[in-house]
Structures are given as structure tokens and as C-alpha cells.
Structure 1
Amino acid sequence: METPIRMTEYSHGSGCGCKIAPAVLDVILHSQLPPDVCDALLVGNSSRDDAAVYDLGNGKAVISTTDFFMPIVDDPFTFGRIAATNAISDVYAMGGKPIMAIAIFGWPLDKLPPEVGREVVEGGRKACQDAGIPLAGGHSIDAPEPIFGLAVTGIVQTRHLKQNSTAQAGCKLYLTKPLGIGILTTAQKRKVLLPEHSNLAIDTMCRMNSIGAQFGEIPAVTALTDVTGFGLGGTFARNVRRQRLASSYSVRPSAGIATHPPIFRHGLLTGRRTTQFRQLRLCAGGNDRTPAANHLRPQTSGGLLVALAPEGEAEFLAVCQQAGLDLQPIGYLREPVAGNALITLE
């Protein structure tokens, strides 16, 4: 009997937990060259947004993004589908619609047969079909670990463009997917995931964030982003500091998909938890024994984080209800008060 291939055994990291920490990334991206001057570039690297946006001059703009990582699940088809869904999400997080994707594929030819790689690409193709776009090409290399993702092109009406750095004080915060993906996938990699939990993370990661295109049409949505490798807490830490705002938020037990005591008895910590905590501690002033630690696990293909002005709540919730989402606010943004933490966990 042939032993099934476990994709997660061929990578040192998994999913969006592979991300480079923000402080390290700042060092890498620092440049001595003068900044690029391009009036048509509406969103570039300076805001650390989900994608770049270029104004076409006719009321429309093109969105360009790329995302790829190493296996987060063992099944190759599912890995490809999740990686592609995660990459496409960046277009939805800008309020846009994807129109085309090309694949990014690295494969350890000395360790894994090409037929397994074909299944990965096939999973990516399925995700593109779910989004209604073609997988139009790509690039592949022989690599020491399996890597897959997409470069995605999208379009958006410029008046519907959303960013992660434009929220306003007084906005409520909503999250469209539950938390807990990181701890479940870590449990799978350590071979301690319970059978009854095996599909929880997969179902969530394969769900498209296509509702983001509808959020883009709601003026009261003042900011939009997706929660991925930096976790919910890391996303708050980056954005509220950049916007000179403060945030209070809570995540009810019902908002998590991984609150199962049998998993936590194994003492599992995701690889980026410590790094993310250092980033959040600068804002929240806590320690590793505070509730903050529960909000730092990486999310792969996570939900959209929405900042919503109060006057648009009825319209927003109607769109969510039509999409089958029953959402409750998880927090709010406020003006910072001197001497208080920028992030308050409730």
C-alpha cells in the first residue's frame, strides 16, 4: 500500500505563518533611492496595503497583487486551492473584482513527483474558477520546498477603492470569518488534530472573500483589509498606529473555530505568535500571559476586517445578510487618550 504524501512535512513553515515579521520587513524594504513619483499610482508600498492600485484615468483603476506560501495542509489539491483563494482575497480587500491570475510555483523535483505538483496547480485552478477568473499562465522553478500562489490582477471603480489605512474614529469593526485557523493547522502539522476538527480550517480557508467587492460600494465602509499572517492583533497594531487612532475590540468565544481544550492541552503555539506578540505589546502594553496572546496567531485566507461608520450600518448588514453572514461588531475605533494603550482587549 502506497504511503500518502503529507505536504506539510516538506516545508519549514506553513501558510501565511511564513510571513516575514513587520520590523524585519521594514529593514528589507528600506531604500536609499529617491521615492518613485507616479501620479497615477493610487496605492503603493508606503501604506503596506493589500495590493497596489494604478489609476487608468477613466474612473477605473487596476489592482495588482501577489501572494504565495508553503503547504498549510497535507492534501496537494486543497493546498493549491487555499493558496489561490488567499491571493485572490487581496483584490477583494481593496473593494475590487479580480479579472485574471497567473501562478507562482516552486517544486522540489528531487523529493516530490510532478503528478503531485499537478494536483496543487489544479487546486489553484479550482479557486480561480470559483472567483470567475482564468488562471492564465505563470512561472515555475525547481525549489527546495513546495511553494504555490498567484499574482492576481483586478479592477475597481476609483470611487469604490478601499484601503487599510483610512478608517475613522467612531467606526465599528466587523470580521467576516472566525479566528482559529493557525492553531488548527499547527495541530495538523504536529499530528494531534482531532478527526472531528479536520475540516474546520479547510472550509474557512477555501471560502472566497468576494463580498469585499460589495463592501467597496458602501461609502460608510471607511477601511478594509484581510486578516492573514499578522493575525488579528498584528493587523490592529499596524493599522491603528499608522492611522493615529486607538482600538478597543473583543472576540467572543463564538467567533473562534479553535477553542477546543484537547488542542490547547498540547501547548501548541504557532510559529509567528512570539514575533507578533512583540509587535502588539508595543501598542497594548501587556505580557504573554494576557488575553492579547490569544489574538496573535496567524490566519491563512482569513476574513475581511471592516471599519464601518455608524450611518451605514443598516446597508452593510443587509449586504451581509444576503450573503448568509450573521455578523456582530467585534470592536470600535476611537481617538487615542494620552497614557492609554492604543489597543484595548475586552
Structure 2
Amino acid sequence: MLVGHETHDDAAVYQLTPSRAIVETVDFFTPVVDDPYWFGRIAAANAFSDVWAMGARPLFALNLVAFPVKTLPMSTLSEILRGGADTAREAGAPILGGHSIDDPEPKYGLAVTGEVHPRHVLRNVGARPGDRLLLTKPLGAGIVTTAIKRDVAPRDVAAVAVEVMAELNRIAGEVLAASGAVHALTDITGFGLLGHAWEMAEGSGVRLRLEASRVPVQDGVRELAAQDVVPGGTKANLAWVEPNTDFGPGVDPALRLVLADAQTNGGLFAAVPEKRAGKLLAALERAGVRAADVGEVLEGPARLEVI
């Protein structure tokens, strides 16, 4: 075993030979959007993300399905599975089977198997003082999906959120892994940017300083947060990280919630050497990924600082 659960990493890694290691991850959840096809796409993209967050490439996946067969038409399930299959094809890893159960509430996701060279595994620990922090997607998906559920999401805001959630982290992961410059890497999902940043800080024994004005946020999200259109998980995230976080006077309560917002298939969050950060940002942009430099790594003890 190369990576287990000790540092809350994104996937397990098990070495097979001196040059081969298996990466294994699993993720599934209830619908975050009403359209079954896009629910399938988003859930599958979210599951694949953990493999790229480890510097690996996916090999294949298995479906995980819970579905109320007596109350919803099977055509809905077909659309969910079609969405997952389309995302898997885009990821370059086929779905080879899976398992399903009859359940009162729909759930969908994947178990994904990937491969990486044992010396090239990227983890959510290892950030070093002097590193810059890069983020490859804007925040706000959790807040927007809550707005969708409450029927208060502007149509354009909802459309962008669906697009961001369904977008694979494949290109960003491949660019970062190929650079050989990443000291620590994770993807931003259920714990929000602050929660996953705290895991990196604690596991690396360093202080992470985030510059709130540099963090990309989807349009309309701060306004929704100011109206308390916020999921319970986001509020729980903020309460969890607050004891280990110092907020500057300019970081208002709504922005704190955005930074802690529980994401679905959020972006990759990387600690990279300062001298390589500019070239990596340029490489990501050339590949079609609009990443941002959102902060820096400082000497420990472990702590978050948001200015």
C-alpha cells in the first residue's frame, strides 16, 4: 500500500510492480440537477476526478446505481447511465459493468480504477514553504445547486454551474502531472476550498495563505450566498475550518461561505514551486484550462489564512 486513508487523500494507491501501481476510488451521490442525463455526466466526472488528482490515468470504471424502480420510469435510469457512459468515453476509460439496487432515492456514481508509476503519485500532502497555490475551476456549485432546488437560480447561473460540474479535470490533471513540478495536489469537492486547503496544510505541516480576491467564483454566487441560499454542508464546512483559519477584515460572511462551499467535481488545487507557477498557468491556459494563482504556502505550524 502506497496511499491509504491516513491523510484523507483522494484515492487509494497499491503498488503491483516497481513500475506499476493501481489507483482506486469510488464516489456516488443523489441528484444535484433535475436533468437525469446531466446528473449522470456530473456524477461520473466527479468520480473520475480523484484519479487525475493522484497524477494517474483512469483505466476503467464500474457503475454504482440505486434507483426506485416502482416510482420512476426506467427511461430516467437509461438517461443517467447514458450520461455516465458519455463522460467515461470522454475520460478515455470504459464502463465495464457495475451493480444496482432498488432504493427509494436515486443515487449514481462510479468505482474507478486507474494506473500510475509509483514514483509519480501525487498526493494532497507535500506542500512546501514558497509554493504558489493554483486552482483550476471557479467556486459556487453547491450554492447554485441549492438555488436550483429552491427554484431561485437565474437560468444563466444554473447553466454555467452545470457546465462547470460536468467538465472533466482530465486536461488539468494531465498538464499538472506531466510538469513534474507539483508538490501537492487535490480536487475541491465536498469539503470546499477551505476544507481541502486545511487538509493540505495539516498534512504538510505548513500555513496556507489564500488571497480571496484571486479566487475565481461563478457569477451570481456571492449574491446568492448573501441571501442565505447556501447548503447545509457548506455551513458545516465553514464551522469545521473556522478554528484553524484566520480571516482578514475584508473577507465578509458571504465570501467565507463561498470559500467553504461544498463542490461537486470542483477544480484541482495544486501547490507548485513559485518559479514554475507562471509557466504552469500558461500551459494550462494553452490547453484550455483557466486556472488562477490563489495564494502561497508559508512556514508552519499548520494554519489557514484568508486575506
Counterpart CA distance in 1 for 2:258 and 2:108 is 28
Counterpart CA distance in 2 for 1:269 and 1:318 is 34
- Tell me the residue number matched to 2:174: 213
Unaligned runs of 5+ in 2: none
Q: Does 1:75 align with 2:35?
A: yes
Unaligned runs of 5+ in 1: 1-40
Q: Deviations 1:76-135 (Å, cap 9, x if unpaired)?
A: 000000000000000000011101000000011232122211111111001001111111
Match 2:152 to one of 183, 186, 192: 192
Query: Is the 1:84–1:149 contact (alpha carbons within 8 Å) kept by the matching residues of 2?
Result: yes
- Tell me the residue number matched to 1:117: 77
Q: Which amino acid aligns with 2:218?
A: I
Counterpart CA distance in 2 for 1:314 and 1:262 is 31
Q: CA separation of 1:84/1:345 partners in 2, compared to 1, >3 Å: closer, same or farther?
A: same
Query: Is the 1:43–1:49 contact (alpha carbons within 8 Å) kept by the matching residues of 2?
Result: yes
- Tell me the residue number matched to 2:259: 295
- Tell me the residue number matched to 1:142: 102
Counterpart CA distance in 2 for 1:162 and 1:45 is 15
Counterpart CA distance in 1 for 2:221 and 2:122 is 35
- Tell me the residue number matched to 1:240: 201
Counterpart CA distance in 2 for 1:47 and 1:261 is 31
Q: CA deviation at 1:136?
A: 0.5
Q: CA deviation at 1:253?
A: 6.9
Query: Is the 2:126–2:203 contact (alpha carbons within 8 Å) kept by the matching residues of 1?
Result: no
Using the TM superposition, name which of 201-210 and 107-116 deviates more. Answer: 107-116
Q: Does 1:275 align with 2:236?
A: yes
Identity %, equivalent residues: 37
Match 1:170 to one of 130, 149, 153: 130
**Structure 1 stretches of at least 4 aligned residues deviating more than 4 Å after TM superposition:** 285-288
Query: Is the 1:181–1:258 contact (alpha carbons within 8 Å) kept by the matching residues of 2?
Result: no
Match 1:317 to one of 281, 297, 302: 281
Q: Which amino acid aligns with 2:304?
A: I
Counterpart CA distance in 2 for 1:74 and 1:246 is 40
Give the 5 Å matches for 1:302-341: 302-336=266-300
Match 2:51 to one of 85, 88, 91: 91
- Tell me the residue number matched to 1:3: none
Counterpart CA distance in 1 for 2:252 and 2:280 is 36
Using the TM superposition, name which of 136-145 and 323-332 deviates more. Answer: 323-332
Counterpart CA distance in 2 for 1:75 and 1:111 is 17
Counterpart CA distance in 2 for 1:238 and 1:163 is 11
Q: CA separation of 1:262/1:217 partners in 2, compared to 1, >3 Å: closer, same or farther?
A: closer
Query: Is the 2:206–2:300 contact (alpha carbons within 8 Å) kept by the matching residues of 1?
Result: yes
Counterpart CA distance in 2 for 1:290 and 1:124 is 34
Calculate the TM-score normalised by the size of structure 1. 0.82
Q: Which amino acid aligns with 2:262?
A: P
Query: Is the 1:125–1:135 contact (alpha carbons within 8 Å) kept by the matching residues of 2?
Result: yes
Counterpart CA distance in 1 for 2:149 and 2:125 is 34
Query: Is the 2:124–2:200 contact (alpha carbons within 8 Å) kept by the matching residues of 1?
Result: yes
Counterpart CA distance in 1 for 2:222 and 2:130 is 36
Q: CA separation of 1:84/1:132 partners in 2, compared to 1, >3 Å: closer, same or farther?
A: same
Q: CA deviation at 1:291?
A: 4.5
Q: CA deviation at 1:288?
A: 8.7
Query: Is the 1:47–1:165 contact (alpha carbons within 8 Å) kept by the matching residues of 2?
Result: yes
Q: CA deviation at 1:326?
A: 3.9
SS in 2 for 1:102: strand
Query: Is the 1:292–1:345 contact (alpha carbons within 8 Å) kept by the matching residues of 2?
Result: no
SS in 2 for 1:122: helix
SS in 1 for 2:178: coil
Query: Is the 1:220–1:309 contact (alpha carbons within 8 Å) kept by the matching residues of 2?
Result: yes
Count residues in correspondence. 303
Task: Indicate the RMSD between aligned Cα atoms, in angstroms.
Answer: 2.0
Give the 5 Å matches for 1:16-35: none
- Tell me the residue number matched to 1:43: 3
Q: CA deviation at 1:290?
A: 7.7
Q: CA separation of 1:87/1:241 partners in 2, compared to 1, >3 Å: closer, same or farther?
A: same
Q: CA deviation at 1:144?
A: 1.9
SS in 2 for 1:72: coil
